[in-house]
Every structure is written in C-alpha cells, then in structure tokens.
Structure 1
Amino acid sequence: MKGFGSNKKFFKDKNNLFDKDRLIIHALELHQKGNTEEAKSCYQKILKKGIADPRVFTNLGVLFQMENDYEKAIKFYKKSIISFPESHEAYSNLSRVLLEIGKYELAEKYLIKVITLKPDFLKAYQNLFNVYVKTNQRKKAGDVLQKCLKIAPNDPLIISNLGRFLLEENNLDEAKKYIKKAISLKPDFWIPYNNLATLEATIGNLMEAEKNFHKVIEINPNYLEAYVSLGEIKNDLFKIKEAEALFLKSLEIKKDFVNGYCSLFRFYEKTNNLIKLKKQLNIQDGNPVIKNELLMYRSRVFFREKNFSKAKELIDNVSLNWVGKTDVNTRLNFWSFKAFIEEKSENFNEAYDSFIKSQLNTKYEKCNKTEFRNYIINYEKNLHNKNFFLKRDSFFNKKHEVYFLIGFPRSGTTLLDTVLRSHPDIDVIEEKPVIYSLEKIIKNQFKYQLDEIYKLSEKEVEKLRTYYLENISKLSDKKNARIIIDKFPLQTVSLPLINFIFPKAKIIFVHRHPYDTVLSCFQQSFEPNNAMANLRSLRESSEIYDLSMKMWVKYKEKLSLDYKMSRYESLINNFEVHTKKVMNFLEIEWDASIKNYRATALSREKINTPSSSQVVQPIYKSSIAKWENYKTYFYDCHIFLEKWIKYFNY
C-alpha cells in the first residue's frame, strides 16, 4: 500500500494552497509517526472542508485497509482515482485491496490499467502473477513472471517466485536452479529458503527440508507457517518431541493461529496421544477462532473412545460452510472423520459420500497413476529373460538373513508388524524406502531400467546387497534384534529385484478378503503419490489389486520364493495358533510378550501408517466382511475381485 506525499502539483485551487498544504502536511506527519487515529481524524477534517486531495483519499484508504475495513478502503481508493486518474499508483492501491479480499477479476482489470499507465511497474506484474496463481491461470502466471524477469533480472524475490512456480509445475531441476540463484543473490532472504525446503520435502529429502526450514525460522522467526511445516517434517523423521514443540511455539507467537491449532490437534490424534489432545481441547474450550476445529476433534475423541452417538452429534454441528473454506488437510480430515462416524451409525450411503470427499486431495493432480501400473508391468518383464535366472543363481554365494513383510495396503500388514515387533528378538522397519533407493541406484548410477535387472553385473549386485544390508541395519531401533523385517506392502511388485539380490530371503505375504482390502484402501486418506493415486475409488483400487495379485502369483510360481502366507482373518480369529506358525517360519521361538502387542503399539511414539489408531485397540472382528455394507457400490468391481475370492479360498 502506497500513499501520496506532499507534491504540490496535486492541488488545483492555487488560492488556498498554503492552508491546504499546512493541514495535509500536519496529517501526513501524524501518519508517518504512527499516530494513525489522529491522522485519520485530520484527514476526515480536511474532507469536511471540501478539500478533494488524492493524498487524503489514498491515505484514508490505506488506514481502513490496515483495519480490514475493505469497503471503506475501496471507496477512498476510487475517490483517489477520480481526483487523479493519471496515477498508476492509485489503480495499484485499489487492485491490491481487491486481491486481498479475493475479487480477482476486478483486481486483474485494475492491474492491467496500472501496466497501461506504467509498463515497467514491477509491483503490478508481481500482483498480477498472484492473481493468475490464485485463479489457476498457470500459463498467464508464467508469462507474467517472464516479464518480471525482463524488468528485474536479478531480483531475488522474482527469481524465487519463478523457482516456486516451476516447483508447482513439477519441473524440479529448473525450480532448484532458480531457488538457489535467489539464495546466492540474497543469502539472508527467507522466502527462497522456504521454497527450497518445500522442494526438498516434495522429493523426499526430509533432512535437507528440515535444515532449510530451520534457516527460514532463523531469518524470520515470525513466519508461523515455517513452524508448522518444520513440525510436520520432524514428525515424519520421528522427532516427535521436537515436532510438538514447534506446533506449540507457533501458538505461543500468535494465540489465534488457526493452522497451528489444526496441526497440533492432528498431530496428537495421529500419534495416539488422546490425553494431550483432550487437554488442549479443554484449554481452548469456547475459543471462537477455532469453534469448528474444536467440534471436529472433540467428535474424533468421542469416536476413538467408542461413544459414537456423541461423536455424531458433534460432527453434525460443524459448519459445512467452514469446511469448504478451511485448509485442505483439515477439510480432508473432517470428511474422513465424518465418514467413519456415519459408518458406525450405519448410515452407509452418507459414509460412502463422505469417503469420496475425503479423497479429493489436490496433491493428486500432480500424480500419475499410470506410471505406477507401468512400474509393475516393467518389473514383470524381467521374468521373460533367461539371463535373469542364470545370473541370479550364479551370483548367489551365501545365505543372507533378510526378511520382508509384503502384501497389499490395508491387508493387515500393520497389525502383523505390531505383533511381530512385540517379540524381544524381532524388529520391523516400517515402510522405509530402502528398496526404492536401490531402484534409484540402478537407474541413476548403473543406467538400467527396472525391466533390465538381468543386465546387472555381479559387482553391481554386490554393491546393492551391501547398501541394503547397511541401511536396513541402521534403521533398526533394536540393536540386539536377531531378525529385522522390512515391512512395505507394495514391495510385492518389487519381488524380482528382491529375489535377484537375495534369492533366499524369507517372505511373509499377508492377505485379507479382497473386498475388505479394497474397501479399506478406499476409506483411507493416503499421502498422495503415483501408487496411492490408484486407490481413490473402489473401481481403481480393485483394478490395481487385481494387477498386483497377478504379479504375486507369477512371482510365487517362477522365483522359487521362500514364503509364508499370513491370513488376516486367521490372525484375528485364532491369534496364538497363527502367530506360532509365523514364528516357526521365521525359525524363532514364540514368546509370551507377543500377546501384549497393544502395549508395544502404545509405547511407540508414532506408527507411520493410516492404521495408527487401529492397532492400539484390542483385536476386533468388526473389520471382517465390512464390505457387505457397501455391496451396492462394488457393482463394477466384481470382474477384478471374484477370482481372488476363489484363489485365497474365502
């Protein structure tokens, strides 16, 4: 917001120039000293004298905009334009308040007028870029950024914005180049560090993201979103206490920081810390700023405590108008919470509709579900080359003690994981992308695609073995564990690589009723990626389930796997018998501590799957045959699932 100074060319009545000048200069001095109320009073006295001066109109507009009285701000900015229609700054001020209140079409109109009056006015182009970003006009936004670069080729903000824009376009290499250039131009500028942290988090470099978010806070300790973003990163890195401290710090800085409350409530719920969640909800009781957030998370607490009628009463009082306007994470959580509450109330149609809305994560727009399908198919191609088997057998020289827990998402892997890690001699590494790291080495260092595993040399395979064994060991919290199990359900499709490197690996394959598995996938709000993009509907989940199981059958038949089938329903219905069979397969004695698996789950600071709220509960059977409540919605899924009902003997 920019006000006019005391330039005398704006005065039209030459006879009263001295009186006007004296009055206006006095008002401007009050304004500049921060005496805004007195300045406002002086400006209004000037207007009552019939003095129509653009500086007065503009500065009153600025003051009212600072007070969020946008209607009056717009009124005075328009009067400024009328009194001085040649001023590009008058149009710029009006466009900025329109941008602030979301009237993007009008803001665009006035910004174009600004550029017509002053074609090299950088701020107008920057605001026009913001208009196009807000209205998702990506092509126009990119064009405007290029114009900004021509005007100011070394402006760190523009270069950083271009990097952020390219990041959102998923052009990661170019994005990083521009963001780092912005940092080199202005090393103490927090915005490019924030963009770099976001980029590193996007590609999974969490430690780099952590470092850069720390830099943001160091430079700008009042940027609250950095505390929340860094808290999320710390949570993903299992630095639970540090994550909590960051969320609390954001609220210490600003007591009405809504995103801070949402993040803190979500954090406590996801880490199963209901005691602290309830405490915070009680502390904030009656806080009008977060009225709907309080209703939503109180409802979730009652749901977790199995008071379903109270949970429904509260969730039904949440404003749907608020739901539509809140941030995407809170909105998705609301629909997920509501869906499960409606399900417990046996309102299955309402539950289904809510589950659909819980899948509307805009991050999926950057995902390509076809890429994951091609990834599966490319792996399978290795089996058609005889060199795959010849090399695998010739490279194998000793038995490595490696173990994998696989299956399909939501098939019961997390429950079995929790049970197994209750054994004093077993540790389970939960969904860490070590195999994915091997894939990156194969593609980036060895220059092979995943359908060319058979081209790997013995030296390259040994390097992959060493990398895997070293890294899986580092990830283990139980340093004396005799068995370390790598649990990652979708590594089912990576079995050709696993088998090529470790032909004698022990594989536990978990399965569950296909319809219940597919339903449970659809009901979860996964973190978006190419694989999870296939699980957003019953139909899509059924298709990818079918493809994955076809691969399992082929791999089981052709790879000579050392495997054990683990049926989820058997674990539920005959817990001790089933776990003893799994222990026999692992060649380890059954231990009574396995019965206390809930204590193991509750002692964990974080469970890194959507099952986190379920595995801490006693074994329950309500998840069996749950799909029958949604039978009508499976009408186009039977072609993919019926064969697996027979195959798994359900």
Structure 2
Amino acid sequence: MKLTQEIINQAMQAFGAGEFSRVISTLSPVYEQHPMAKMVYATALGKVAEFTTSFEIFESLQSDYPQNTDVAYNYGLLLKEAERFDDAQKQLLKAIAINPNYHVAFHALGNLMSELGRYEEAQLAYEKAVAKNPKNIQYGQSLSKCLYQQEKWSQLVAHIKREGLHLSDKLSAELYTEACYRIHSRGELAKQSNMLSSTYSDSYSIHYFLALSALESKRYVHAKRHLEKSLSLADSSDKEELLTYLDYVSWLLNATKDNLDVLNRKFENTDNIQLLELAFNINENRRELAEAEKLLGKIQLIQAEGDKEQHELKRSLLAFAKGEFEEGLRINEHFLVKQPKSLPHLYQKIRTLEKLKRFSDAEEVIRFIAHNVNNLHSSKFADLSSGVMLNGFDVSPSPIVNTSSNSTNILFIVGFPRSGTTLIESLLLKNANVELLEETDAVETFYNQMVEREIVDPETGDIKRTNQSELDALANDYLEHLTAYSPSVDSNKLIVDKMPLNFPYLPAMLTLFPNAKVLCCLRNPKAVALSCLQFEEINLYTVEQFAEAYNKVFTCWEKMEPILRDRAISIKYEDVVADPESSIASIYQFSGLTEGETKTLESNSSPLFQTPSYYQVSQPVYKSSMQKYENYPTLFSECPPLLDEWEQKWGY
C-alpha cells in the first residue's frame, strides 16, 4: 500500500478531531514511507498511551533528523503526558536550542514548569513565548495565570495592560480586575469600571471585585450597583455573602441603628469566614469588644488548624483594646517568631511596646522595619519601598480670577496624615448644618478626569476654562460625581471634605466653588513623624523619608497660600487639644457656619467611627500625648535639617 496525499489528509483530519485510533489505523500500513506520517503516527500512539512504541519511533526520527524542531517538540509533549518530566524538559529545550524563535516550545515549557509548580521558571518561558509571538492570546493568558498563581499582582496588571488583553479577553479581564483589587489600585479600577462592567456584563468575578474596590473607595452607590449585578450572576453558594454586603452598604449609606441591627443579624447566622471577619473588624473598630471576641472564637472554630495563626493579630488587637498590653505583646511575638517579616504584626508590636513604655524596644522595631522593608509582607501595598505617593505636588498655580457661580459651601480639610484632620472632623460631626463626607478619593479622581480631558493644566493645577457657564457645568459635574460616594449629600449644608493630601487639587476646586474654603491642620513635625512611623499608613519608614515627604507637601502648601488668600487658614493640633471650644468657634466663624442645632447620633453606629484615628480622638486627649516623640531621643538625635526648619517655621 502506497502513502498518498489523500491518506495523509484523512489522518490529519482524524487527528484534528481527536480520533487518534482512526489515525493509527489509517497510517499503520504506510507510516514508515514518510517522516511526517511517522511523526503523526507516533504522536497518535502516545495520545492513546502506547508510549513504548511511540517513543521508539520518536527516537528513530530524532536519530535521522537531529535538527528537526517539530520532532523534539512533539516528543517533549508526549514525554510530559507520560510523566517523564525531566526528559520532556530536555526535548523542549532541545527544540528551543535548534530554533530560538520557536515560540510554541517556549509555551509548552512554561506549561510543563507550571504543572510542576516551578512558577518562576514557567514565567520566564511564558515571557519568551509572548515576546516571540505577542499576538497569541493563549500565550498572554498563560503568563497571566502564572503571575496569578504567584500572586504577583502588580506584574500581572502591567502585563495585561501592556498587551491590552483586558480589552477583549474575558479571562484576562477577570484576572486584571482581581489583581487591581488585590493591590488596592482603586483609581485604576474606577477608570476602567464602565468598560469592564459593560464589555463583560456576564462576568460574576469582574462585578464582584469592582464592588469590593468601590467599597474600599467609599463609592457606596457604585458598590451597591456592582453587588446587585453580582447577585444576579452568582451561584447559590455565593448569594449569602452578597446579600450581607448589600446590607453592609445600606448601613454605610444610612447609618441608622435599624440598619446596623439588620446587618448584625446576618452576621449572627453566618458561617462564612469572610463575613465573620468583616463583622469582627466592624465590632473591633466600634470597640464592641465582647462581640468581637465572640466572633473571633467562631472564626477559629470553623477554620482549619493551619489557618488559625493568621488570626493572632486579631487576638492581639483585642488584648490591646482591653488594655491587656502584656498579653497582646505575648500573642504578637508568638506569631513573629514564625513569621518575623509580617508588617502588620510589627506595627502592632510597636504600638504595644509604647503602651508598656518600652520606648527603646519600640524604636528597635521601627529601625528593623526600615532596614528590611524590601523583604516585609503586607496586604496593603504592592510596593512597600515606593514611599508616600505625592503625585502633583510640584504644581505652581496662578491666582484664581474666574470662578463658577455655584453657591455650594464646602470646607476642604487637608494636612499631613496624622496631623489632626480627624480630630477637626470629630468636632464638626454633631452640627446639624454640616454634611460630613468620609475620607474619599472623590476630589482626586475628579481632578484627574479633568486633567485627562485637558480641562486642567497638570503643571499649574489651574483650570483652563474661563467661561462661567463651562465652570458652572463642571461644578455641577462634581456634585453629581459625589453621588457615587453618598447619594444624600445636601448641598444646602456645609459639605466637609476631609482628605489630608488633597493639596494639589485645591486651586481647581476653589475655582469651581467660590464659596469653598480650606482648613490646613498643622502639628509638630516630629510628633507627626513618630505617628507615621508607628502605623502601616503611607510607606514611610525613616525620619529622613518622612522629612522629604513633609517638605514636599508643605512646600506645595506655601505656594497655595498666596493663591487661596483669605479662603484658607491653618490650625494647630496642639491648640485644638488645649482649647477645643475656642477652636471650633474659630472654625465656625471662618467657614460661615452657625452653631445650629445638635445632630443626634444613634449610639456610635456611624461608619465615621470605623477608623483608628476616629477612635483615638473620641477618647480623652492628654497634653502629654502631644510630646510623645520626646520618648525617642535617639530616633531624632540626628534630625534632618528639613524637619528642624519646618518645626521652627510653625513656631514649635
């Protein structure tokens, strides 16, 4: 029987259909007549696990055609199926050595390494496959999945964006959305939200992580919308979690005791670990410590033995909140023996040591963090060494000449983090004429949108538009933008927008809102430095790093003051602590606020209580706490000149 093109076509058609037995029967009488037929026949034998005969034929082919990439490649694939992984790797590397541009072999090698759990090697192979053939979506997906397996979230986002995979490939879009959420890239997801949700309207994963990201950004209205969409796509096993999150959003949007009670009933009846952890965090922040302890006990009963250690930080937090500092330290140190580079535990240790007045030990931990920052672990930041993000602080604004006619009253509260912005907010909280926004990125995202639309000059921070009707429209756009965060913002009240590092955006916002004013919170720079070094807040680990960031922020403020003129004042944290009544009176006078009637708060159910800063300022504040940095003389023994200059400038 003679091998003909028709026989080859029949065999290839059967091979493409996965009918390997038919391939074998078709080629069996004739496969030895041509090397291509021989390779197809041997490959089909391997596909039905007749490895011995298959490998004998491949060895013969390789002897006859030692430089044939297809032989080495297909032989390698079958060796992998036979679980002869080392031999498979050798054959794939041989194919690559023969032809360094043989991208399918790189991809196959990546698959092999990934299957063996050797993800670093898999990543290298996939990267080469993508580089050789960047238009192959499968290669891009494989690299994405490999990065996902390694939890290399930043690299995953960069890869998917670079190749544009999230624009047309659902799997890539799902991985991209989750990765952005994992590294808290909230601005990125906010920009892509409409595209992702409309392009992949049937993706549960995308809407779920968009919802969680919107929650983190305090865009509660958007979070609710994405949760409702997720609910419509969810399996029954996921619906309890989503319904509880919806109740959580309802409470955040309308913080009544009734809404909190509904949420707590959901928590009481769940065994979902993620929901129980949310319940713990809410109760611990609200200082409902007995309930938090009960929830933690439930979590530990449900979880496997190996997972319980991760909750030692929660146990330490509870002990700290109850004033049991020695016990909290013991729990924390027990964890750090096994995982000495866990950043949240290290910061908790610093705070506990300070409560025990073991200041030199606390300073030692601060220095340990600074020296080991590249090797520490944190879920809050993708790049711990990047420092505080101070984009746009080099703006050089011009005097404000043209404004809108919008009459909305807004008080922007700014300052370096840990400088008393939350203290000021707490003093304004009970005034019925005040509409308090939570700390949100509302101003930043709106400003960045204006930059992208070329409405704002990023070099100066000035709005380019001078026509009043255009400025009026932009002001209305911003108020509409706010409804994503809170649908009930009352523009007839004084809107208080506290976001410490919003300095660069102030000239633009005061152009849109001519009645808006700015309150800048000041505090002894050394006290601020110590506070920043004690909290996992903004990636500052040394006094020197802090001094550079502080200088950049307040150099920007110095450029703002002549532009803002009588629309801005500064207030010192120490003065507020010493005489809160006079301080609040001066703030009322500055902002045109009347004392008005007192707002009734339902216990401490408000979400504004959900931050450590708020809890701190709601407690009695003693003057001695303002000079805590004096307990760390060696930390400030060689104080950077920049810090001394600002300390003198502020009159400390």
Q: Structure 2 length as normaliser, TM-score?
A: 0.65
Q: 1:59-103: CA deviations, max 9, x gaps?
A: xxxxxxxxxxxxxxxxxxxxxxxxxxx8866657869xxxxxxxx
1:237 CA drift (Å): 11
Question: Does residue 112 in structure 1 map to residue 114 in structure 2?
Answer: no
Q: 1:210-238: CA deviations, max 9, x gaps?
A: 614468898785999x979x979988995
Distance in structure 2 (CA, Å) of the matches to 1:402 and 1:537: 35
Match of 1:14 in 2: none
1:376 CA drift (Å): 0.9
Q: 1:453-478: CA deviations, max 9, x gaps?
A: 55612234333322223334674556
Q: Does the 8 Å CA contact 1:525/1:610 hold for their aligned counterparts?
A: no
For residues 418-457 of structure 1, what are the structure 2 equivalents within 5 Å?
418-446=426-454, 448-454=456-462, 456-457=464-465
Question: Does residue 202 in structure 1 map to residue 204 in structure 2?
Answer: no
Match of 2:533 in 1: 522
1:639 to 618, 627, 641: 641
Q: For residue 295 of structure 2, what is the amino acid of its counterpart?
A: Q
Q: 1:521-563: CA deviations, max 9, x gaps?
A: 222212xxxxx34x34321111111222222233223432323
More moved, 208-217 vs 571-580: 208-217
Between the aligned residues of both structures, percent identity stands at 18
Distance in structure 2 (CA, Å) of the matches to 1:114 and 1:218: 48
Q: Residues 111 and 246 of structure 1: is their aligned pair in 2 closer, same or farther, counting only changes over 3 Å?
A: farther
For residues 464-613 of structure 1, what are the structure 2 equivalents within 5 Å?
464-472=474-482, 475-476=485-486, 477=488, 479=490, 482-526=493-537, 532-533=538-539, 535-590=540-595, 593=598, 602-605=604-607, 607=609, 611-613=613-615
Q: Residues 247 and 90 of structure 1: is their aligned pair in 2 closer, same or farther, counting only changes over 3 Å?
A: farther
Q: Residues 250 and 350 of structure 1: is their aligned pair in 2 closer, same or farther, counting only changes over 3 Å?
A: farther
Match of 1:143 in 2: 128
Q: For residue 195 of structure 1, what is the amino acid of its counterpart?
A: Y
1:143 CA drift (Å): 1.6
Distance in structure 1 (CA, Å) of the matches to 2:332 and 2:87: 43
Q: Does the 8 Å CA contact 1:145/1:158 hold for their aligned counterparts?
A: no
Q: 1:390-445: CA deviations, max 9, x gaps?
A: xx324465754222111111101012112212212212212222322332233221
Distance in structure 2 (CA, Å) of the matches to 1:93 and 1:246: 51
Match of 2:345 in 1: 334
Q: For residue 174 of structure 1, what is the amino acid of its counterpart?
A: K
Q: Residues 542 and 158 of structure 1: is their aligned pair in 2 closer, same or farther, counting only changes over 3 Å?
A: same
Question: Does residue 406 in structure 1 map to residue 414 in structure 2?
Answer: yes
**SS of aligned partner of 2:168:** helix
More moved, 574-583 vs 283-292: 283-292
**SS of aligned partner of 1:451:** coil
Q: Residues 117 and 587 of structure 1: is their aligned pair in 2 closer, same or farther, counting only changes over 3 Å?
A: same
1:520 CA drift (Å): 1.2
For residues 156-195 of structure 1, what are the structure 2 equivalents within 5 Å?
157-158=141-142, 161=145, 168=155, 170-171=157-158, 174=161, 177-183=164-170, 192-195=173-176
Q: Residues 135 and 338 of structure 1: is their aligned pair in 2 closer, same or farther, counting only changes over 3 Å?
A: farther
**SS of aligned partner of 1:645:** helix
Match of 1:21 in 2: none
Match of 1:126 in 2: 111
Q: Does the 8 Å CA contact 1:411/1:510 hold for their aligned counterparts?
A: yes
Q: Does the 8 Å CA contact 1:159/1:178 hold for their aligned counterparts?
A: no
Distance in structure 2 (CA, Å) of the matches to 1:432 and 1:311: 32
Q: Residues 323 and 585 of structure 1: is their aligned pair in 2 closer, same or farther, counting only changes over 3 Å?
A: same
Q: Does the 8 Å CA contact 1:406/1:509 hold for their aligned counterparts?
A: yes
Q: Does the 8 Å CA contact 1:231/1:246 hold for their aligned counterparts?
A: no
Match of 2:60 in 1: none
1:614 CA drift (Å): 2.1
Distance in structure 2 (CA, Å) of the matches to 1:295 and 1:635: 35
More moved, 192-201 vs 493-502: 192-201
Match of 2:632 in 1: 630
Distance in structure 1 (CA, Å) of the matches to 2:566 and 2:83: 70
Match of 2:295 in 1: 280
Match of 2:212 in 1: none
Alignment gaps of 5+ in structure 2: 1-20, 22-49, 53-74, 97-103, 198-204, 210-226, 254-258
Question: Does residue 343 in structure 1 map to residue 354 in structure 2?
Answer: yes
Q: Does the 8 Å CA contact 2:405/2:514 hold for their aligned counterparts?
A: no
Computed over aligned residues only, the root mean square deviation of the Cα atoms, in angstroms, reads 4.9
Q: Residues 495 and 349 of structure 1: is their aligned pair in 2 closer, same or farther, counting only changes over 3 Å?
A: same
Q: Residues 219 and 117 of structure 1: is their aligned pair in 2 closer, same or farther, counting only changes over 3 Å?
A: farther
Q: Residues 584 and 237 of structure 1: is their aligned pair in 2 closer, same or farther, counting only changes over 3 Å?
A: same
Q: For residue 332 of structure 2, what is the amino acid of its counterpart?
A: I
Q: Does the 8 Å CA contact 1:163/1:174 hold for their aligned counterparts?
A: no
Q: Does the 8 Å CA contact 1:539/1:634 hold for their aligned counterparts?
A: no
For residues 6-405 of structure 1, what are the structure 2 equivalents within 5 Å?
112-113=89-90, 115-116=92-93, 124-128=109-113, 134-135=119-120, 141-145=126-130, 153=137, 157-158=141-142, 161=145, 168=155, 170-171=157-158, 174=161, 177-183=164-170, 192-199=173-180, 202-204=185-187, 205=189, 211-213=207-209, 238=252, 252=272, 265-266=280-281, 268-270=283-285, 272-284=287-299, 288-318=305-335, 320-322=337-339, 331-355=342-366, 357=369, 360=376, 372-373=389-390, 375-377=392-394, 379-380=395-396, 382=397, 388-389=398-399, 392-395=400-403, 400-405=408-413
Q: For residue 345 of structure 1, what is the amino acid of its counterpart?
A: L
Q: Does the 8 Å CA contact 1:509/1:563 hold for their aligned counterparts?
A: yes
Q: For residue 621 of structure 2, what is the amino acid of its counterpart?
A: I
Distance in structure 2 (CA, Å) of the matches to 1:624 and 1:136: 53
Q: For residue 433 of structure 2, what is the amino acid of its counterpart?
A: D
**SS of aligned partner of 2:651:** coil
Distance in structure 1 (CA, Å) of the matches to 2:317 and 2:432: 34
Aligned length: 521
Q: For residue 185 of structure 2, what is the amino acid of its counterpart?
A: T
- Which of structures 1 and 2 has the larger relative contact order (alpha carbons within 8 angstroms, sep 6+)? 2
Distance in structure 2 (CA, Å) of the matches to 1:243 and 1:155: 45
**SS of aligned partner of 1:649:** coil
**SS of aligned partner of 1:316:** helix
Q: Structure 1 length as normaliser, TM-score?
A: 0.66
**SS of aligned partner of 1:422:** coil
**SS of aligned partner of 1:282:** helix
1:335 CA drift (Å): 1.7
Q: For residue 565 of structure 1, what is the amino acid of its counterpart?
A: S
Alignment gaps of 5+ in structure 1: 1-5, 7-52, 56-85, 96-106, 184-188, 325-330, 383-387, 527-531
Q: Residues 351 and 473 of structure 1: is their aligned pair in 2 closer, same or farther, counting only changes over 3 Å?
A: same
Distance in structure 2 (CA, Å) of the matches to 1:608 and 1:353: 30
Q: Does the 8 Å CA contact 2:409/2:491 hold for their aligned counterparts?
A: no
Q: Does the 8 Å CA contact 1:248/1:260 hold for their aligned counterparts?
A: no
Q: For residue 625 of structure 2, what is the amino acid of its counterpart?
A: S
Q: Residues 370 and 135 of structure 1: is their aligned pair in 2 closer, same or farther, counting only changes over 3 Å?
A: same
